[in-house]
Structure 1
Amino acid sequence: MEYMLRNWYFFVWLSGDHIVEQHVHNLDVVNWAIGSPPVEALAVGGRQWRVEPQFGNIYDHFAVRYRYRNGAVVVSMARQIDNTQPLVAESVIGTKGRASAGRIDGQNSWKWEGPNPNPYEQEHAGLIASIRSGNPLNEGRQVAEATLTAIIGRMSAYSGQAVSWDFAMNESQLDLTPPEIKAGGYKLGPAPKMPPPASGNAELT
């Protein structure tokens, strides 16, 4: 149990898998660009690099097709595999061009020419300024929607089935807490066996 707590990232019940822990930020940007969360996810995923027991039971790659209510389709890919091309980015393609962070190519071409501040400093500066102005930022809804966007992608990859937003919100009874831990309490000692989900074989609950 202590190993799990110290290596929480590699265990689904603690991190949610890397699509929820890390890739959620990219999904948040996409939801913001489209203006709403998706209605459905259909995904694949698996483990091909981090397969040893010390890497817990999370996947090392996901690919998800999200469908949105307005007809938009998003293809989302995430991997954590050594010696592969690193890329963390979003690109939106429409009828009049293509947009990515700081650039638009197409009918209304544009490129950001201003300063490039540290984003981690900027997010704190923006939050503090909003509080001081009396208009504090509250992005709780966006955070929750981005998180569930990632979760339905993970649920689909594990189960091999399309997962709808409505199912996750209104029907799912999913509880990632290991039964042994719920039964015996949170005690240090030998960790319960937690094999990674076999893509397409996990029960959709």
Structure 2
Amino acid sequence: MPTSNQHDNSSTAPQAFSTASQFLSTASQANPSESRRKFLRGGLVTTASALSVSSTLHANETPAVHQSTSDTSSSGEPIRIALIGCGGRGTGALNDSMSINDNVKLVALADLRKEKCERTRKSMFGRHKEKVDVADDKMHEGLDAYKRVLDDPNVDLVLLTTSPGFRPSHLAEAVDAGKHIFAEKPTCVDVAGYHTCLAAHDRAVTNGTAIVTGTQYRRQTNYVAAVEQIRQGAIGDIVSATSRYCSNSIWFKNRQPGMSELDYQLNNWMHFIWLSGDQIVEQAVHNIDAMNWVMGSAPETAYGSGGRFTRPDGSEMWDSMSIDYQYPGNRVLSFMCRQIPNTKSDNGNVIYGTEGTMYIDALSRGSRMMDRKGNEVWSAKGSISDAYRHEHKELVDSITSGKPIVELKETAKSSLTAVMGRLAAYTGQQVTWDFLTKKSTLNLFPESLSPDNFPASSGHAIPGQTKLT
């Protein structure tokens, strides 16, 4: 959950690097960094079957919050990092990794515009001078800039923080290139991207490469402690829950003279659904991921509504959605997200049980449990800034220990859960998990990214007219 522009995709400048033909690519490629990865693992050889047990976080597991006992600098060489997407979220993730890890070095940058690479290099050099070694020819710009990073055998770990529509293809190609990965949330904005993520997860397990995602609440101490309490039966059986991600307005960038349609949409990416997935996917996925974790699975159905009241002309986004998710066991989550100026903000989760109620608040506000009489019987504190950094610590430690974490599958499920809610609101239909995962053909990615004939937006969704596909 963002606390500032540094950690919020919704406040970053745009980044995008891909082509439509690469979107669903699953072809294996040569692995130029394999020998270096083996060196970093200290020669450890781990079978794919063992990795699938030891390195994958599942929805019903609680990831441990601990300080690694491994010596992450024992190999004698640092983990060499590249950032793909030099906006506020990407620069924030890079700073988190370089702040918490001693054995890392920044060696390459990629973005749509080179001046953003230069800005990030300057910022990181000012904060972490001894960990920055980015030559001028290692700052790449353009739609294909990410490819030059993935082709670089000098890169061990890539941070994928472009606009979300590009995340699945970048993940797939980074796995095929043998890179370890940090992938910002969400990991997909449609069904096609979800299946790409599942395949990339499995290949990463087989390859022995790590994938950690930007779902920092799964490593925040008060969230972890609250989920442990729920798992132990402290509030009895879960009956229902509420979750809200309600905030104020979001940025919008006007079209500049001479700007092509493609450049305009990339520059204003939050407002185009193929790039952002709308607020529920791009931002509110944090709370949806937390609730999937609490419930132990994705929901079975979604039914909801919402609308547009304050969005500027040209934006495809809605500014509010209310979704009822039904989870196995007839447990209902009432979920709401909103971005409307001059309205009351509310961000957090409440889980109602047969024996008590658990409040898990967003940001750094902690968790607390109440009994049936309304008395507080338990509480826990947590720091979101610590959680942001801890995910990068666990990632690097898993690489150097030879036990790479691979957690893409659960984040893909949470991202698709958010897509499921968006589709329910957009179409006015009840949407089932079974339909989305087995029958839907939804693929929002454009057939071509040519600036010469890129199509203009077809407008925002209208329930009753927008079809479920």
TM-score by length of 1: 0.88
Partners of 2:272 and 2:357 in 1: CA distance: 37
Q: Secondary structure at the match of 1:64?
A: strand
Partners of 2:300 and 2:338 in 1: CA distance: 23
Q: Which whole-Å deviations, capped at 9, do the CAs of 1:73-131 have from their partners, x for residues lacking one? A: 00110011111122221111111111123211116821115x63622122222333333
- The equivalent of 2:370 in structure 1 is 105
Q: 1:139 to 1:51 in 2, by over 3 A?
A: same
Does the CA contact (< 8 Å) of 1:4 and 1:191 recur in 2? no
Partners of 1:70 and 1:132 in 2: CA distance: 41
Output aligned runs, 1:26-175, within 5 Å.
26-53=287-314, 56-101=315-360, 102-106=367-371, 109-112=377-380, 116=383, 118=385, 119-175=387-443
Q: Which whole-Å deviations, capped at 9, do the CAs of 1:11-53 have from their partners, x for residues lacking one? A: 0111111111111111100000010100000010211111422
Root mean square deviation, CA, Å:
1.9
Q: Which whole-Å deviations, capped at 9, do the CAs of 1:122-149 have from their partners, x for residues lacking one? A: 2222333333444332211111110110
Partners of 2:301 and 2:271 in 1: CA distance: 26
Partners of 1:49 and 1:99 in 2: CA distance: 34
Q: 1:106 to 1:45 in 2, by over 3 A?
A: same
Q: Which letter does structure 1 place at the counterpart of 2:333?
A: V
Q: Which letter does structure 1 place at the counterpart of 2:383?
A: N
TM-score by length of 2: 0.40
Percentage of pairs with the same residue: 37
Q: Secondary structure at the match of 2:326?
A: strand
Aligned length: 197
Q: Secondary structure at the match of 2:309?
A: coil
Q: Which letter does structure 1 place at the counterpart of 2:359?
A: S
Which has the larger Rg? Answer: 2
Q: Secondary structure at the match of 1:89?
A: strand
Larger relative contact order (CA 8 Å, sep ≥ 6): 1
Partners of 2:344 and 2:411 in 1: CA distance: 28
Does the CA contact (< 8 Å) of 1:157 and 1:200 recur in 2? no
After TM superposition, which residue ranges in structure 1, 4 or more long, deviate above 4 angstroms? none
Specify every segment of 5 or more residues in structure 1 that has no aligned partner in the other structure, as ranges.
Answer: none
